[in-house]
Amino acid sequence: MIDSANPIAALPLLELDVLRSFIAIAETGSFTRAASQVHRTPSAISMQIKRLEEMLGYSLLLREPKRASVTAQGEVLLGFARRMLALNEEALSRFYSPALTGYVRLGTSDDVGTRILPAVLSSFARAYPGVQIDVVVGRSIDMAAQVDSAELDLALVTSGNHALHGEVVYTEQLVWAECAGGQASTRRPLPLSLAGAGCVWRESALAALDRAGITYRIAYVSDHCTGQRAAMLADLAIAPFPRGLVHKPLKVVEAETALPALGSYQIMLLQGSNPGPLVDALRSYIVQTFETL
C-alpha cells in the first residue's frame, strides 16, 4: 500500500543493471546479442525484462521470432534509461576519476559540431569543471592535418574512402536533399550546393553523378551546412546531405527523379600521438555520445 503522506518514497526503484540490459536489447534487436554485450545469459536478461514489465505494468518489447522490437511505452523508457545510465557514469567519474585540470584541443567539422558537440561539452564540463576545451571548427581535411602536426589533440572528421587512421564512431546514410515543393532537382544541368574541394559529401555526389551520366553545375559553394541549406531553401540547388540533417522544410529528393544513390559516410575520431588523461577522458565522452544516437 502506498503511503499517502509520501507516495514517492513507496515507488519501486529502477535497477541500472536491468536498464542496461533493456537498452542492449533495444539497440541490437536480439536477446542473444544483448546477453553477449552485458555478459549475462539470454534467459537471465529475459527474466530481468519480465520483472521490469511487471513492475511498470506495460509491455516494453515485442518478441518476434527473429527480432525483438521496442513498443511505444518501451520507447518512453528507453530515453529515461539512457539518461539514467549516463548520469550514473557522470556521477561515478567525479569520484573515481582524478581531479583533472588543463586544456584539450578539439577539432570538428561543421555538421558534427552542430549536432554532437553541445551534448559532449555539457556532460564533460560537469564531470571535469577544471578542464578547458579549445574547439576549432573547419574542414575535415584540415582537421586531419592539424592532428598529424600536433596542433590538435582530437578531431571529429567526415570520411569516405580516405585512408585516415582513426576510430569510426558513426556511420550515416548520405541522401540528396532539396526544399519541399522546390523544382531544383528537375532542372538540367542539375544545380548543386556543395562544400569546397576535399569534402567527402562533395566527392561522393560528383562521382555518383558522373557514373550516372547526369549533367550538373555547381551553383553554390559553402563549407558550412547553413550556407548549403540556404541555397536549398531558396530552391537554387540540391545538395548531398546526411539523412540526420534533413529537417523541414527540407526533404529527401524523391526516387522518381532517378538520381544515383550516394551510399553512406563515416564520422571518425582522430587522436594525436601524445594522448594523456585529459584526451582519454574527452575521447570517452565523445564515443559515448555517438553510441546513444
Q: What angle do CA 208, 213, 219 make, to 5 degrees?
A: 70
> Using CA atoms, how far apart are residues 152 and 146, in angstroms rounded to an integer?
6
With cut-offs at 50, 70 and 90, classify the pLDDT of residue 20: very high
Structural domains of the chain sorted by starting position, each given as residue range(s) with its CATH number in brackets: 7-96 (1.10.10.10), 103-293 (3.40.190.290)
Q: What angle do CA 189, 195, 197 make, to 5 degrees?
A: 95
Q: Taking residues 3-14, what's their average pLDDT?
A: 68
pLDDT digits (tens, 9 = 90+) for 79-134: 999 999 988 877 777 676 666 788 899 999 888 877 788 888 888 888 788 889 99
Q: What percent of the chain has pLDDT over 70?
A: 93
Of the candidates 221, 225, 229, which has an alpha carbon nearest to the alpha carbon of residue 251?
Answer: 229
Within the chain, residue ranges assigned H as helices are 16-28, 31-38, 42-56, 72-96, 110-115, 117-127, 140-148, 200-212, 225-233, 277-291
Return the pLDDT at 150: 92
Element (H, E) at 135: strand 131-137
Sequence-ordered list of residues with C-beta below 8 angstroms from that of 127, at least 6 positions apart, any chain: 90, 93, 94, 97, 281, 285
Residue type, 210: D
116 vs 271, residue with greater confidence: 271
pLDDT at 245 over 70: yes
